[in-house]
Amino acid sequence: MSKWTAADIEDQTGRRYVITGANSGLGAETAKALAKAGATVTLACRNVNKAQPVAADIGPNATVAQLDLADLASVRTFAEKFDGADVLINNAGVMAIPFKRTADGFEMQMGTNHLGHFVLTALVLPKITDRVVTLSSSMHQIGRIDLDDLNWDKRKYRRWRAYGDSKMANLMFGKELAERLAASGSSTSSMVAHPGYAATELQGRSETIEDVFMKFGNKIFAQSASGGALPTLYAATSPDTTNGGYYGPTEMFGSRGAPGPSGHSKLADDAAIRDELWRVSEKLTDTEFTV
């Protein structure tokens, strides 16, 4: 069996995709590959000035829309203008940054990576006709969802643990959404993907000495951003995926290579925690998410 590449993407002519954080890195590479296959792509980004050159490089199949996942007012404004798509790709994220809070007072990593996408998906899901793909990370393995302190109000902040928590939340959300969609009889599906170890602008934002090592690792060990985008592209386009599936690189212990089904922490299968995370996310964001 040959290894799946972007060349295996079926003709996407007539299909519409919304990709959050598509101004650089994995999101930009995902948008480029989809547009090359014929799709129309919307680059939903906080920094529209950085997104415009990417859209211009792609050509007439690309448009840019303002979306700041760290500000729920921006998320709601985007959703009000949203006129539908086949696929929503929840790609945007921040990693291991110093302690900050979103416009709504959430810890920045949980607020951006999970809660912003949770609200976005809740608001636009009725207009998504095919599937939702949410980006997690192999770092979800260090995540332990603290439902009593999701926003680090009580705990001493630990940036990597906070990142792992947010990525575990992404994985749990994608899997819980899949089960709720199936239970409702919906034809829309939900998948989760992770890029393995890919060189992107996500690294180097910790404002610590770790940035030096991460940038060195990007040059020596990491695969390219286009390589890291393959699991997302596979989850978003392949007819061989399944609702609730988790996809990532299949070589070098899941750090690189062709995409396929990926292993994950057993914690992500805990239905009780997933259900409570959903409830807490609704409460924190004042958003009713009924599938």
Instruction: Tell me the C-alpha distance between 139 and 65, whole Å.
Output: 29
Point out the residues that are catalytic. 163
Instruction: Tell me the C-alpha distance between 73 and 279, whole Å.
Output: 20
Domains of the chain: 6-197+228-283 (3.40.50.720)
* Cβ-based neighbour number of residue 50 at 10 Å: 16
**Is the whole model's pTM more than 0.85, yes or no?**
yes
Q: What is the DSSP letter of 207?
A: S
Instruction: Tell me the C-alpha distance between 195 and 109, whole Å.
Output: 18
The pLDDT profile of the chain, 291 residues, written as one tens digit per residue, is 469 999 999 999 999 999 999 999 999 999 999 999 999 999 999 999 999 999 999 999 999 999 999 999 999 999 999 999 999 999 999 999 999 999 999 999 999 999 999 999 999 999 999 999 999 999 999 999 999 999 999 999 999 999 999 999 999 999 999 999 999 999 999 999 999 876 556 545 545 555 544 453 445 455 778 899 999 999 999 999 999 999 999 986 666 688 999 999 999 999 999 999 999 999 999 999 999
Sign of CA dihedral 188, 7, 262, 158: negative
* Cβ-based neighbour number of residue 276 at 10 Å: 14
